Every structure is written in C-alpha cells, then in structure tokens.
C-alpha cells in the first residue's frame, strides 16, 4: 500500500473510534504518523485573529509538547512554512541556527532531532501547517517528498471540506457551524497551551465543563472566545 492508502485507512480507523469533529486535527495527526516514517505529528493554525496561531492537534503527548514549544518560542518551522507557503525540512543543526529558542527547548524536552513542516492550503492560501517530527536527523532523507506533500494536501482537504473552513479562510460569509468549529479548535489550542497539556486532555476538559453546565462544547468554546468565560475555569473543572 502507498502512504496515501495507509493514511486513508488509518484515518478511517481513528474516525470510527472518535467521530467528533472537534477531534479531527488530532485524528489527522495520528493518521499521518501511521502512514509515514516519522515519530510524531502536529497541526497548528497559522492565521491572524480571530482564528489565532495555535496548536490544535497532535499525534501524542510528546508531539503536542513540541507544538506548544513552537508557540511559546514565538517562531519555528510551522510558522515559517505557513509564512513562506513552502515546505521546510530541517535537522537539529539547521533548525538551531534558524530558531534557536525553539530548538533548545525541543532537544532538551523531547527526543526529536528533525522537523518537516508542510503548509496547508485553502484555495492557494496557507492557513495552517502539518509538522512531522523525527528522532533521527537522517530520517529526513528517508522521507519521500511526494508522500509528505500528498498527505499534507489530504490533511488540508479534510480540514477545509469536512468542516467548511473555506468560507472562513477564503473571505466568504461564515456560517454558524463554521464559526462554532473554529471557536472549538481555537479554544482547544488555548486550553492546551495555558494548561501545558495536549489537545486530547484539553478537549476532555472542555467536554466535562460543558456536560457539567448542560451546555454544548460549541457554546462553551464560544463563551471563552468572546471573553465571557475565563479559560482557567474550564481547566480547573469549575462549572459554577
């Protein structure tokens, strides 16, 4: 099977286990790891407000930490690839010269020693990035460029078509469903970075808070986005 076939099969299994649209970025990241010779993957929105530049999904806790480290450092391969609209392949030595603060934290706190970052496009405009993490820098040479670019395109298509991001990123009118989904992803990323945790845990806390108030996840996320609800209350599990 090709990497694209492996990705499609892995995504189908992930989606069968958890079909919630809120967890789509995480499912996509996990499927990418199953399809490619990489050890971690993450997805970061790379837009100006109101969507925000936030990590929204990762294949596992270590990849989630790597995504948060980029956010904390304020720069890294994901933002560079989105800004340039081009793939970025960087081992530890090269990355250390380009993003020293990020790489110093990365090599100290994770086993990753190389990153491949692919911009995700909606109608020609980059709106996010897919980051692929490798433990061995020599693994970059083993990556098939066609495979990683093809998978990035599938990831972008899933985010755009399954949730309707085209209307939001393409400048068209936003439907309520699109705005709700973007708010949920933004808040998941916000909770993950504020709570120094992964997107799975952030989503679980968001769901628990919503359940405790007999509200939907979309309603709670919208309240956080609008400033009506302190995200710390969600992190602390305080529904009162």
pLDDT tens-digit readout, 153-211: 999 999 887 655 544 444 444 444 455 666 788 888 888 888 888 878 888 888 898 88
Instruction: From 129, 99, 146, select the one nearest 29 (Cα to Cα).
Output: 129
195 belongs to a structural domain: yes
Which of the pair, 165 or 223, is modelled with greater confidence?
Answer: 223
85 belongs to a structural domain: yes
> pLDDT value at position 224?
87
| Pair 91, 7 in one domain | yes
Q: Residue 106 burial by CB count (10 A; 0-12/13-18/19+): exposed, middle or buried?
A: buried
Domain span holding position 212: 176-235
pLDDT tens-digit readout, 54-97: 888 899 999 999 998 988 888 889 889 988 999 999 999 999 99
Domain count, the chain: 2
Which residue, of 121, 138, 168, is where some domain finishes? Answer: 168
9 belongs to a structural domain: yes
Give CA–CA dist 196/175, Å, rounded: 31
Chain length of the chain: 240
Token pair in block for residue 113: 């020693």
| Pair 112, 48 in one domain | yes
Which residue, of 140, 168, 196, is where some domain finishes? Answer: 168
Tokens 């078509």, residue located:
161
């Amino acid at each position: 099977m090709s990497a694209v076939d492996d990705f499609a099969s892995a995504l189908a299994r992930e989606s069968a286990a958890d079909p919630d649209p809120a967890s789509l970025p995480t499912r996509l990241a996990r499927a990418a790891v199953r399809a490619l010779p990489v050890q971690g993957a993450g997805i970061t929105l790379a837009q100006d407000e109101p969507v925000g530049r936030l990590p929204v999904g990762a294949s596992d806790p270590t990849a989630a930490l790597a995504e948060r480290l980029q956010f904390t450092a304020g720069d890294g391969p994901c933002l560079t690839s989105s800004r340039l609209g081009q793939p970025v392949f960087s081992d530890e030595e090269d990355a250390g010269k380009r993003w020293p603060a990020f790489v110093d934290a990365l090599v100290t706190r994770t086993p990753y020693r190389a990153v491949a970052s692919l911009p995700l496009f909606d109608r020609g405009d980059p709106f996010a990035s897919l980051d692929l993490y490798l433990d061995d820098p020599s693994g970059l040479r083993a990556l098939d460029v066609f495979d990683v670019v093809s998978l990035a395109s599938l990831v972008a298509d899933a985010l755009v078509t399954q949730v309707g991001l085209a209307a939001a990123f393409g400048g068209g009118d936003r439907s309520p469903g699109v705005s709700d989904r973007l708010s949920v992803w933004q808040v998941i990323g916000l909770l993950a970075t504020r709570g120094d945790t992964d997107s799975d845990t952030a989503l679980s806390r968001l769901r628990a808070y919503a359940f405790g108030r007999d509200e939907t996840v979309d309603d709670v996320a919208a309240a956080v986005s609008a400033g009506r609800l302190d995200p710390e209350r969600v992190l602390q599990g305080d529904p009162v």
